[in-house]
Amino acid sequence: MKKIYVITGGPGIGKTTVIEGLEKKGFFVAHECAREVIKEETEKGTDVLPWADLKTYQERVAMRQIEKEESVTAEAFFVDRGVVDGLAYLRIGGLPSNETIEKFGRGRYAKVFLLDRLPFYENDSERKESLDVQEKIHDEIKKAYEDFGYSVTTVPFGTPDERVGYILGNL
């Protein structure tokens, strides 16, 4: 059985940097799906975007996440967000969980690492949340994983190398 380790947390807290650090050390990784879906749907000109049709968007992201995780042939690897992350976004949007999250979310991951918040936060073309919303998402992600039966390991703030070291020391 595959061991999938989730690197998660609110927007803009260094997940991608940590995933890239793990990848540079030779670990298999699966990069975040959300930005891929935003880019594809924007190029197509659809409304399947988190700020226009959150329900359909999160279903698309969840399906892409599962496809990506299933395509990795390594016995152990890290993912930049897991399928349960979508539940936090749906809850904040006042929506119920979706079929993909419910079907695949429980018992799927070997360990969940929640990165502690950074002392700064920056928006970009896909990251449109305010700092207040970012903090709510971060807290809701932790709650979603706990609600799905996971013990969440918090990775303290530090340099990317320190965070990678902490994760590897706590597998």
- Give the pLDDT confidence of 84-132 residue by residue, as tens digits: 999 999 999 999 999 999 999 999 999 999 999 876 656 555 555 666 7
Domain boundaries, the chain: 3-169
What is the reported pLDDT for 121?
53
What is the reported pLDDT for 122?
62
**pTM for the model:** 0.90
Between CA 165 and CA 86 the distance in angstroms is 27
**Residue 68 binned pLDDT confidence (cut-offs 50, 70, 90):** very high
What is the reported pLDDT for 11?
84
What is the reported pLDDT for 81?
95
What is the reported pLDDT for 134?
75
What is the reported pLDDT for 12?
81
What is the reported pLDDT for 62?
95
pLDDT tens readout for residues 9-55 = 988 888 999 999 999 999 999 999 988 999 999 999 999 888 899 99
**Residue 141 binned pLDDT confidence (cut-offs 50, 70, 90):** very high
pLDDT over 90 at 165, yes or no = yes
What is the reported pLDDT for 133?
74
Span 3-169 CATH architecture? 3-Layer(aba) Sandwich (3.40)
What is the reported pLDDT for 118?
75
**Residue 6 binned pLDDT confidence (cut-offs 50, 70, 90):** very high
